[in-house]
């Protein structure tokens, strides 16, 4: 439900706002919502970790800007179906590139997300059935 709301919000904003403005506002809202939880658990980072975080931040910012820009040109159903693939790809890249463990719970979540995408794609591809006229 939240991904549908996010798609609707971004698509409506894309009609009047630039991609960078939408991205910046979404970042401010996310920072305001998650910041208080991060402050208590903050710890000093090693220089290597800072460089890795900056690289991840630059790459994800570019990817999000491209994705937000593309939402203005995609049908709503296509955009909504792609949202659940974000955490799936994050977990898979984390496992493949960083050696993070792939637990049974995460694998189950990935399967549920992929099943939802498949179901949404299948439902969207079915032709609409016109009601019978009596």
- pLDDT per residue rounded down to tens, the chain (134 residues): 566 677 677 777 777 888 788 888 888 888 898 888 888 777 888 999 999 999 988 998 898 888 878 877 877 777 777 777 888 888 888 899 888 998 999 999 999 988 988 887 777 666 666 566 65
Count of C-beta atoms within a 10 Å radius of residue 90: 12
Cα distances (angstroms) measured from residue 57 to each of 29, 51, 110: 17, 10, 23
Rounded to whole angstroms, how far apart are CA atoms 109 and 103?
A: 10
Quick one: tokens of 88? Answer: 């799936």
- Residue 75 carries which DSSP code? -
What are the structure tokens assigned to 87, written together? 């955490």
The C-alpha R_g of the chain, in whole angstroms, comes to 19
pLDDT of residue 78: 74
pLDDT of 4: 65
CA distances from 68 to 93, 108, 110 (A): 21, 28, 23
- C-alpha distances out from residue 63 to 5, 12, 23, 43, 57, Å: 20, 20, 11, 27, 10
């Amino acid at each position: 439900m939240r991904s549908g709301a996010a798609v609707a919000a971004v698509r409506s904003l894309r009609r009047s706002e630039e991609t960078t403005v939408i991205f910046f506002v979404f970042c401010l809202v996310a920072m305001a919502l998650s910041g208080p939880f991060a402050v208590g658990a903050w710890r000093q980072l090693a220089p290597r970790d800072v460089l890795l975080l900056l690289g991840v931040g630059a790459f994800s910012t570019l990817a999000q800007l491209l994705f937000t820009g593309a939402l203005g040109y995609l049908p709503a159903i296509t955009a909504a179906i792609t949202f659940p693939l974000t955490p799936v790809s994050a977990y898979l890249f984390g496992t493949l590139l960083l050696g993070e463990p792939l637990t049974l719970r995460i694998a189950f979540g990935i399967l549920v997300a992929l099943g939802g995408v498949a179901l949404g794609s299948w439902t969207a591809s079915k032709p609409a059935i016109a009601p019978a006229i009596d």
